[in-house]
Amino acid sequence: MLNVFKSYTSLLEVIIGVWAFIKETFNLKLYVSIIFITSTFVLINEVFGLYDYIIRHYYWSPMKAVSFFAIDFSAYILCCLSVHKFTEHKAFLKERQFWLISIGIFVFIAIYRCSYLKGFVRNFQLQGDVFHYLSRLINYVDSLVVIFVPLIVFYFLYDKRYLTNFYGLRKQGVDFKPYIWMLGLMSIVIFFASAQDSFLQYYPEVKKTHYIEVAQQLGISQYATLAIYEVLYMSAFIVVEVIYRGVLIFTMFRFLGKYAVYPMICVYCLLHFGKPLNELISSFFGGFVLGVLAFKGKNIYGGIAIHMGIALLMEIFVFIRLLE
């Protein structure tokens, strides 16, 4: 069971806490290995268009889930092998539970990334903008169902004996002040990043839903279709934090110890395939910081808040740029 707990109340304490974690776990060979593995997968994706190929050829096919599982699981296991090679954690590779839990986690991550439930919309023979809009909404509902239902079952049947809360969803000791400071600093970076062509082409996410056209076709306010989408879009970050900062750290802690943070940041970076390259690269470092804060504080509420805040700022700043 995790017995580390630290509540951060200032940005300075966050910086000191992250630096302390780096000193506690510093291992140059491990760092180089994790960076090399992550960089290799990123390079393959950027050079050969791996993510685009999967989306283009397997969008409605089970091969989409198989492909995502193969990529994520192989990257994760390679990072775990690095932890085994370069740290004192040697026994986990021989433990049956490690393999069963790891495989189970990445099976559900693969299903979560595919969102097959939105194919249900096709049964209503909807066309055009309305179909596209509802598909995007169901994508987020699907994520909540696919992840939380199995996790609740797994938690009460197995993980509850090891964890003191549901994968970091605990209110005790949560202080949002340092995260507000972090978000304030990030807002400056996001503002300048929003001027780049890659960001303007990808964001805001809501523009991909044709929400204005949908509102006109349904005879409702465009602000209603906008608000509905953004609320469900924000819910996606609860799922992300529960999986990557919750399950992959707190569940895997008993096998990898505090080094569970490092394989997590690799697969978290891979989750950003298909997004602008600078966002993909920054997710590696952002995932590390949020992972450390989750591990030290034993909660993920701060991570959820900052993740939602960053996503919302991306939407707002690009909207402003497009209006100029």
What domain range is 319 assigned to? 11-323
Q: Report which secondary-structure segment, H or E, holds 41.
A: helix 28-48
Report the Cα 173 to chain-centroid distance in Å. 23
Would residue 288 count as lying in a domain?
yes
When divided into structural domains, the chain yields a total of 1
* Percent composition of the chain: helix, strand, coil (DSSP 3-state, to 5): 80, 0, 20
pLDDT of residue 287: 94
Would residue 217 count as lying in a domain?
yes
Taking alpha carbons only, the member of 300, 256, 12 closest to residue 168 is 300
Is the pLDDT at 216 greater than 70? The verdict is yes
**pLDDT tens per residue, range 270-296:** 999 998 888 899 999 999 999 998 998
Prior bond of 150 cis (ω within 30°): no
pLDDT band at 3 (very low <50, low <70, confident <90, very high): very low
Would residue 182 count as lying in a domain?
yes
CA 264, CA 244: separation in Å to the nearest integer? 6
Would residue 301 count as lying in a domain?
yes
Q: Which residue has the higher pLDDT, 35 or 175?
A: 35
pLDDT of residue 122: 55
pLDDT of residue 318: 87
pLDDT of residue 39: 97
Mean pLDDT of 97-104: 96
Mean pLDDT of 176-199: 86
CA 296, CA 42: separation in Å to the nearest integer? 28
**pLDDT tens per residue, range 5-55:** 455 556 777 888 899 999 999 999 999 999 999 999 999 999 999 999 998
Give SS3 for 119: helix
Would residue 4 count as lying in a domain?
no
Would residue 111 count as lying in a domain?
yes
How confident is the prediction for the chain on average, in pLDDT? 88
pLDDT of residue 1: 45
CA 32, CA 290: separation in Å to the nearest integer? 20
Q: Which residue has the higher pLDDT, 31 or 111?
A: 31
Q: Compute the Cα dihedral for 135, 104, 92, 17 and give only its sign.
A: positive
Would residue 18 count as lying in a domain?
yes
Mean pLDDT of 147-151: 90
Is the pLDDT at 246 greater than 50? The verdict is yes
Would residue 261 count as lying in a domain?
yes
pLDDT of residue 221: 93
Residue count (the chain):
324
Is the pLDDT at 106 greater than 80? The verdict is yes
Tokens describing residue 270: 């891979």
Place of tokens 């110890």: 257
pLDDT of residue 198: 82
CA 27, CA 36: separation in Å to the nearest integer? 14
pLDDT of residue 142: 82
pLDDT of residue 258: 95
pLDDT of residue 81: 98
Selection from 109-113, 129-133, 175-179, 196-200 with the highest mean pLDDT: 109-113
Taking alpha carbons only, the member of 108, 114, 111, 38 closest to residue 74 is 38
Give SS3 for 249: helix
